Amino acid sequence: MSDDQRALSDDQRALSDDLRADGVTAGYGGDPVIREVTVRAEPGTVVSVVGPNGSGKSTLLKAMTGVLRVTAGRVFVGDREVTNLPPEEMARAGVGYVPQTDDVFAPLTVRENLEMGGYLLHHREIPHRVEYVLTVFPRLAGMLRRPAGRLSGGERKMLAMGRVLMLRPAVFLLDEPTANLAPAVASVLLGEHVRHLAEAGAAVLIVEQRARAVLAISDRTYVMGGGELRMEGTPAELSASLDFVASFLGGRPG
């Protein structure tokens, strides 16, 4: 067994936490933007949250990662409650969050970005982890010394995901990773890289605008609208549903 594979199976035990948001209500201070949302992602699966703009998808992610305050409901990683933990504690609890914008340290090089991702690791582990991340994202190997601000959109997103991957978190939260990416790049990102994260054992929750594309790689999908959960199901079930289409185009479901 190679070092990487050994590392993988060692971590397999740690990566058996699922992600649960139970009845989460959150907002930006005034009225709540999302109300009583319950989602769940099991280890090794890709769960997507889709919906039209303003449906609260990004708000849900921000609430789950400690960026926004949860006013009701709770969030769990495995047995551990992580509701309203500050971001630095979330990282320690095994939550890896890739925000939609400002997702890399622009003045730092690619390698330094990855090293920051591995901040919580023992320093001896870092080179191994970097190597591992580079096997997942080989494109990055050629640009280790380049400042992150000078990467293309797709490369940046890979770096952002790679940075989070350094900690091998049990849970990945991705906020519209394909926004502003060309369709070809987006499909590679989703089809290969995001799927790989789940295959390595993590629970992946991905919020996306490109419903069709993300449905193709999801094990289960939630549909949000107006701050609430409207529907859930497997991609097959949803694609066949008229309500699914309607909820995207503003008609009232049912």
Partner 1 sequence: MSLLLASVGFGLITAAVLAIAAVGFTLQFAVTDVLNLAFAAVMTAGAFTAYLVNQAGYSVWVGLAAAMVACAALSAGLNYLVYAPFQRRGSAPITLVIVSLGMALIVEFGIASVAGGIDVSYQMSQGRTVTIGGMLLSTVQLIIIAISVVVMAAVHALLRYTKLGKAMRATAANRMLARGCGIRASQVIALTWALTGALGGLAGTVFAIDVGSFNASSTDIFLILILAAVFLGGPGNAYGAMLGALVIGLATEVSAAYIEPDYKYVVAFVALLAMLAVRPTGLLGARA
Partner 2 sequence: MYYLIILLVYAAVDAIACLGLSQQFGVAGVTNFGFIIFQAAGAYVAAVLALPPDTADGGFQTYIGGLSLPFPLPWIGAAVAGGVLALPFTFLVGRRLRGDFAAVGLLVTAVLLNLLVMNYRPLFNGDAGLALVPTPLRQTMFVTTSNAYQYGYAAAGLVLAAAVYVFVRRITESPYGRTLRAMRDNDKVADSLGKNLVALRTGALVTGGAIAGLSGAVLVSFIGVWSPAEWSYAETIVLFTAVIIGGAGNHAGAVLGAVLVPVGFEEVTRFISNNNPNLPPNLLPSLQWVAIGLLITVFLWLRPQGLLPERRRMIRAPARSPAAQAPPEPPAEPAVESAPAPAARAPVPAPVTEPILRTSGVSKAFGGVHAVAGVTIAVGRGTLTGLIGPNGAGKSTLLSLLAGTAKASAGQVIYQGQDVTAVPAYRRARAGLVRTFQLASEFKRLTVLENLLSAVPSHRGDTFAGAVAGRRYWRGAEDLAIGRATELIERFGLARHANDYAGDLSGGQRRLVEIMRALMTEPSMLLLDEPMAGVHPELARRIGAALVGLCQDGMTILMVEHELSIMDEFCEPVIVMADGAVLAEGTMAELRDRTEVVEAYLVG
Binding of partner 2 by 210 (CB under 8 A): yes
- Site stretch for partner 2 (CB under 8 A), options 27-35, 76-84, 108-116, 158-166: 27-35
In angstroms, what is the minimal distance from the CB of 247 to partner 2? 10
Tokens of 48: 């997507």
Taking the least distance from each CB to partner 2, the nearer of 33 and 204 is: 33
For residue 97, list its beta bridge partners: 173
Return all residues near 240 (Cβ < 8 A) that are at least 6 apart: none
How many Cβ atoms from other residues are within 10 Å of residue 208's Cβ?
26
Taking the least distance from each CB to partner 2, the nearer of 22 and 228 is: 228
In angstroms, what is the minimal distance from the CB of 248 to partner 1? 30
Size, binding site for partner 2 by CB under 8 A: 24
Give the total residue count for the chain.
254
Separation CA 71–CA 24 (nearest Å): 8
Separation CA 54–CA 57 (nearest Å): 8
Question: Residue 27: in which H helix or E strand, if any?
Answer: strand 19-27
Binding of partner 2 by 211 (CB under 8 A): yes
Q: How far is CA 114 from the centre of its chain?
A: 17
How many Cβ atoms from other residues are within 10 Å of residue 80's Cβ?
12
| 146, 209, 219, 232: residue in contact with partner 2 (rule CB under 8 A) | 209
For residue 232, list its beta bridge partners: 222
62's contact among partner 1, partner 2, none, with CB below 5 to 8 A by partner kind, is none
Binding of partner 2 by 31 (CB under 8 A): yes
Window 105 to 134, contacts with partner 2 (CB under 8 A): none
| 6, 12, 54, 199: residue in contact with partner 2 (rule CB under 8 A) | 54
Binding of partner 2 by 193 (CB under 8 A): no
In angstroms, what is the minimal distance from the CB of 200 to partner 1? 20
Compute the C-alpha angle 85/87/91, nearest 5°. Answer: 100
Taking the least distance from each CB to partner 2, the nearer of 95 and 205 is: 205
Return all residues near 16 (Cβ < 8 A) that are at least 6 apart: 43, 78, 170, 201
In angstroms, what is the minimal distance from the CB of 79 to partner 2? 36
Taking the least distance from each CB to partner 1, the nearer of 30 and 254 is: 30
Q: Are 206 and 177 in contact (CB under 8 A)?
A: yes
Q: How far is CA 3 from the centre of its chain?
A: 26
Taking the least distance from each CB to partner 1, the nearer of 15 and 85 is: 85
Binding site for partner 2 (CB under 8 A): 30-31, 33, 52-54, 176, 178-180, 208-213, 226, 245-246, 248-252
